[in-house]
Amino acid sequence: MSFAARSPQRRKESSAAFRICLLNAIILGISFCSSFSFPPRNPRLHACRHRHRHRQSPWSRKQARTHSSSCISLSSSVADTFGKTIELKYTEFSGSDAAGNDNYDGDPAIILHGLLGSKRNFASLGSSLAAQLSKRRRIIAVDLRNHGENSEETWTEDMSYSGMARDVVIGLLDRLEISSCVLIGHSMGGKAAKAAALLYPERVSGLVVMDIAPVEYTCERDAHWSTVKGTIDAIAGVSLEGKTKRDVDLALRATVEDPALRAFVLTNLREDRQSGNLNWKINVEGIERQLETIAGFDIGQDGESSIYHGETLIIKGGASRFVQNSHVEAISKYFPNYLLTSIRGAGHWIHAEAPDDTLAILKKYLDR
């Protein structure tokens, strides 16, 4: 999660109205770009620049005529570190060919959202992948622990990435009888995907990470993380008793100045059908207490060597500061067979700010 500006020029041209429109893309999800290939076991940095443009992929119409997609919401169970059973909600986007067949050519792709996000953020992207991939796969978007549709009864104090990795691998994959998958993760979900690949490499056949590095972020060193912490602190300090969404928006305005960010935060509110009171869909207190853990990366810190040799693609927002040159050493240590591509002009929310580019890159990777 980040709220970095897309570029100095674009920041001047942006208006509050535009940012609200952008938020709709973030919440609902949405969807061109260049080619790349992975050298066999050849660790190197490959950076390509993609112009930030919004146009339909030339593949879209052709694929739309031969595929249809549907969406199924389900849940999965897993035991966390404290022995508590957690129900992980997920949505599956299934694409059927013209004959209505559900035969798949590749491992399923599992999408993991970022901090304060949910599987709903990837609804459009998931549907587009299910409908347009040449190598057909199951596409599944997950609500990570303490987020999304996971009930309050499942909340946990553990926000470690090793815990999130177990949720995905031991819980979700075993429950769905998936032997191996491609993991796609954004921000916090990108770190969770990295952790799963490092801890369970035999279960991860491919890895895509969107705008996050396997490093610790601090407020002193990283201004963008200071914004994240300030947002979480502001959420935790708001009283919901007797408040409306507008009241909460006004209460957050002094600390969270960005209207699009506030609107994104407000998507985590829900109204109790009986009492009419507002409450958070996310475990705000647990997340606040575990923010230092979320900022870090708890894999390979005990001196034990952790390496994932699979093909790893890192997609960086060109205007984002979450992946920097100083992070390359850490990336190559954990993921020696990686490529790095940058979408010019896009901020941290690359799937929302550059949907066509993001979709095209993912299609190229998944259809390789």
Q: What integer pLDDT is reported at residue 38 of this predicted model?
A: 53
Torsion of CA 186, 191, 192, 197, to 10 degrees: 110
> Average pLDDT, whole number, for the chain?
81
Give yes or no for residue 178 having a pLDDT over 70. Answer: yes
Mark residue 211 as left, alpha or beta (left: phi above 0; alpha: psi -120 to 50; beta: remaining): left
Q: Does residue 216 sit in helix, strand or coil?
A: coil
Give me the mean pLDDT over the 162-168 stretch: 92
Q: In what order do the strands lie in the sheet with 139-142?
A: 49-50, 338-343, 312-317, 204-210, 181-186, 109-112, 139-142, 85-97, 67-79
Most confidently predicted of 46-55, 89-98, 231-240, 295-304: 231-240
Report which DSSP code applies to 176. Answer: T
Mean pLDDT over 306-327 rounds to: 96
Domains in the chain, CATH or no CATH each: 8-217+304-366 (3.40.50.1820), 223-289 (no CATH)
CA pair distance 109, 92, nearest whole angstrom: 10
Question: Rounded to an integer, what distance in angstroms lies between the CA atom of residue 189 and that of residue 264?
Answer: 17
pLDDT per residue over 139-161, tens digit each? 999 999 999 999 888 899 999 99
Q: What is the DSSP string of 231-270?
A: HHHHHHT---TT--HHHHHHHHHTT---HHHHHHHHTTEE
| Cα radius of gyration rounded to whole Å, the chain | 20
Q: Which alpha helices (H) appear in the chain, and where do they start and end?
A: 8-13, 16-28, 60-66, 123-132, 161-166, 174-175, 188-199, 223-236, 245-253, 259-266, 284-289, 291-295, 328-334, 350-353, 355-366
What pLDDT does residue 200 have? 95
Q: Are 334 and 300 in contact (CB under 8 A)?
A: yes
Q: Is the pLDDT of residue 55 over 60?
A: no
Which residue is listed with tokens 């994932």?
308
Q: Residue 80: CB partners within 8 Å, gap ≥ 6?
A: 86, 145, 156, 158, 163, 166, 167
Whole-model pTM?
A: 0.80
The pLDDT of residue 68 is above 70: no
CA dihedral of residues 30, 35, 40, 46 (deg, nearest 10): -90
Write the pLDDT tens digit of every residue in 7-18: 444 444 444 444
pLDDT of residue 305: 65
Which tens digit of pLDDT belongs to each residue from 256-314?
998 988 999 999 999 988 888 999 999 999 999 999 999 999 998 665 668 999 999 99
